[in-house]
Amino acid sequence: MAENQFLNLKKAAIRFSVFGLIFVVVASLVAGCMSTRIRAGEGAVKYSVFGGTDIDAEFGGA
C-alpha cells in the first residue's frame, strides 16, 4: 500500500516538472517578443495595457 502511494507521488512530481519546464520555456520565448532594446540615440515611452501610453515616463533619447 505504501509503495503505491509513493509511485503516485513520483508520477505527480514528474508531471509537475515537465509542465513547469514547458511553462518556463514558453514564458521565456514570449518575454522576448514583448520586450525590445533601446539603442543609442533612440527614445521610448512606457505603454501599459490598462493605463495606455505614459508619455511622462521617458527612456533613452536626449
| Residue ranges covered by each domain of the chain | 2-60
* CA distances for 5 relative to 2, 9, 13, 18, angstroms: 5, 6, 12, 20
43: left (phi over 0), alpha (psi -120 to 50) or beta: beta
What pLDDT digit, counting tens, does each position of 1-56 carry? 556 666 788 888 999 999 999 999 998 888 777 777 777 777 777 777 777 777 77
Whole-structure pTM value: 0.49
